[in-house]
């Protein structure tokens, strides 16, 4: 599964040794989605991926993740384990939206094409009915 958002918190790295004597490490982050109702999601990179994907607060990423749950002493715990993070290019992702004229303001003229000629303006299908009335009662 994938989710896109901005890193809002980088938690302290954790490491240790398992009962089997294997070293492990984990790096946790909090991501905030950029939806109309933003959600916060805590996820981690475990093992070698903790060093493979160094993220910082403010990075906009697309996270590929798996969800896994485990039982311990009668309680269930769920982890969101990241396996890939792709940083978004701030020049592309943070670019302002193209200019849109306000209501009643004339639209800017289209830029000339490669041949120096201007393309005809697009037909506004909402008003260009070619004299054919509509079936609306108002």
The pLDDT tens digits for 105-136 are: 555 555 555 555 665 555 555 555 555 566 66
120 occurs within a structural domain: no
114 occurs within a structural domain: no
Q: Can you give the pLDDT at residue 4?
A: 95
133 occurs within a structural domain: no
How far apart, in Å, do the first and last CA atoms of the chain sit? 47
23 occurs within a structural domain: yes
pLDDT tens figures, 7-21: 999 999 999 998 999
For the chain, how many structural domains are there in total? 1
Range of the domain at 45: 2-90
72 occurs within a structural domain: yes
| pTM of the shown model | 0.62
25 occurs within a structural domain: yes
Instruction: Please tell me the distance from the alpha carbon of residue 38 to that of residue 28, in angstroms, as a whole number.
Output: 19
Is residue 85 a contact partner of residue 61, using CB atoms and an 8 Å limit? yes
137 occurs within a structural domain: no
Is residue 59 a contact partner of residue 81, using CB atoms and an 8 Å limit? no
59 occurs within a structural domain: yes
**CATH code of 31's domain:** 2.40.50.140
Q: Is the dihedral of CA 74, 76, 77, 79 positive or negative?
A: positive
């Amino acid at each position: 599964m994938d989710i896109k958002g901005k890193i809002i918190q980088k938690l302290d790295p954790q490491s240790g040794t398992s009962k089997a004597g294997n070293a492990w490490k984990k790096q946790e982050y909090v991501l905030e989605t950029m939806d109309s109702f933003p959600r916060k999601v805590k996820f981690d990179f475990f093992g070698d991926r903790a060093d493979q994907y160094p993220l910082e607060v403010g990075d906009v990423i697309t996270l590929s993740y798996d969800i896994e749950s485990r039982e311990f002493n009668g309680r269930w715990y769920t982890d969101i384990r990241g396996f890939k993070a792709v940083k978004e290019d701030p020049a592309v992702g943070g670019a302002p939206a193209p200019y849109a004229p306000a209501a009643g303001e004339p639209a800017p003229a289209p830029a000339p094409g490669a041949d120096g000629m201007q393309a005809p303006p697009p037909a506004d299908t909402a008003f260009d009915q070619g004299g054919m009335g509509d079936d609306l009662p108002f």
